[in-house]
Amino acid sequence: MARLQVAIKNLVEVFMEYSDGDGKLNKEELKKMMDKEMDCPEAKAKMAEGCAKGQGGQCKGDIDFEEFLKCVSCMAKCGYNKRRGGGAGCGK
């Protein structure tokens, strides 16, 4: 399977696993997912920040799949900018 296809499949599977099938991550499920699936403290902070932005500045939980993708997008942008040598571009 192509790498991008695998990445997408993995995102969907991780979300489904931690959302317990209800289509949303509550605050506890989000924390559990970040603790288990993310090693980097900076990435965890970016994920929480991205989720907070999607919720008007406060990460209250109940993150649906679309909001989850926005959080992941924020982290991907940060990783891209860092790889290009512009780590300060995180969160822009």
Predicted local distance difference test score (pLDDT) of residue 54: 56
pLDDT tens string 4-35: 999 999 999 999 999 988 899 988 898 899 88
pTM for this predicted structure: 0.76
pLDDT cut 70: percent of the chain above it: 79
**Amino acid letter for position 44:** K
Measured CA distances, 53 to 32, 48, 50, 66, 68 (Å)? 20, 9, 5, 13, 11
Give pLDDT tens digits for 69-90: 988 888 888 888 888 886 555 5
What is each CA distance from 69 to 4, 13, 14, 15, 43, in whole angstroms? 15, 13, 12, 10, 14
pLDDT at 87 (0 to 100): 59
pLDDT tens per residue across span 45-67: 777 776 666 555 556 668 899 98
- Give pLDDT, residue 13: 95
- What is the reported pLDDT for 1? 86
